[in-house]
Amino acid sequence: MTIDNISQAKVCGGWHKQYTHQSQSLNGVARFAIFLPPNASKATPVPVLYWLSGLTCTDENFMQKAGALRKAAELGIAIVAPDTSPRGEGVADDDNYDLGQGAGFYLNATQKPWAQHYQMYDYITAELPKIIEEHFPVTSVKSISGHSMGGHGAITIGLKNSSNYRSISAFSPISNPMGCPWGQKAFSAYLGSDVESWKQYDSSELLKQAKSELPILVDQGDADGFLTEQLKPEALIEAAKVHASPVEVRMQPGYDHSYYFISSFIDEHLAFHAKHLA
């Protein structure tokens, strides 16, 4: 697999780099960013935290706004941030921000016209890690995290692939997409009208089915404008009780849905993952 370096910058003693490549899963060109801490080398490969961003975001939002790179450099953790969807000419899209390009929902679409490109689940779980481990000084040890739509993706992917990750965390995740407007719109378009097929991509439904084998940390701001209608952390909390899953949901007073919130607690999330990646 050939990857093309399109930008790079030294930061916190390490390197932030962006790449594009031809993706088989997405049937087109994909982009990702990677932060390599100062100690990463062929002699000392490092573990990886995969970060999944939210609606309308790209690989750039987290790397530029979260303030995570100094702590990641200190802990010796690489961070990989993929784009949030396939993009480009010929890729299906929608006029609204919550469907189509920028809104892949980290699932494998089954419905036309989305199925041709929108295979984000396969891309995140299989194709991207293979590329990262082939081209960079990293180990196969990894954890996963994300924000909003990406928090939904991080939890569902971690739950469904527990042998591939060490820990899961999320900021303001869409915890019960089957029960909120964002999720219902996306799932109807990407997966069709069979609601049973939606359950495989709903964190709360997955936790009702089985106990999480991985520790999960969730931070949610209580001043988040999407809290009640879209995010529904209470559904995740109740689902975790069914099998006593190791899920900690922290409600943070006064915080909203923005990267100001993420940057306030990202160091704690990185420390949480570092403990399990070790």
Q: What is the pLDDT of residues 162-194, one digit of tens each?
A: 999 999 999 999 999 999 999 999 999 999 999
pLDDT in tens, 201-230: 999 999 999 999 999 999 999 999 999 999
What is the pLDDT at residue 176? 98
As given in the structure block, the two tokens for residue 48 are 């990886």
What is the pLDDT at residue 191? 98
pTM of this prediction?
0.98
Average pLDDT over residues 55-73: 98
As given in the structure block, the two tokens for residue 2 are 């050939």
Q: Which of 77, 83, 81, 82 is nearest to 137 (CA)?
A: 77
Average pLDDT over residues 22-38: 98
- Residues 159 and 135: their CA atoms lie apart, in Å, by 27
Average pLDDT over residues 11-19: 98
Would the pLDDT of 1 be above 90? no
What is the Cα gyration radius of the chain? 17
Check if 224 is active-site: yes
What is the pLDDT at residue 167? 98
pLDDT in tens, 93-117: 999 999 999 999 999 999 999 999 9
> Given 148, 169, 172, 212, which residue is catalytic?
148
> Given 85, 224, 245, 269, which residue is catalytic?
224
Average pLDDT over residues 78-90: 98
Strand duo 28-36 + 14-23: pairing? antiparallel
What is the pLDDT at residue 132? 98
- Residues 167 and 272: their CA atoms lie apart, in Å, by 8
> Do 201 and 105 touch, CB atoms closer than 8 A?
yes
- C-alpha dihedral sign at 26, 31, 33, 36: positive
Strand duo 78-82 + 138-147: pairing? unpaired
- The reply to whether omega before 181 is within 30° of 0 (cis) is no
Indicate the helix (H) or strand (E) that contains 81: strand 78-82
> Given 152, 257, 269, 273, which residue is catalytic?
257
276 — phi, psi (to 5°)? -85, -30
Check if 4 is active-site: no
74 band by pLDDT with thresholds 50, 70 and 90? very high
Q: Which residues pair with 21 in a beta bridge?
A: 3, 30
156 band by pLDDT with thresholds 50, 70 and 90? very high
Average pLDDT over residues 134-161: 98
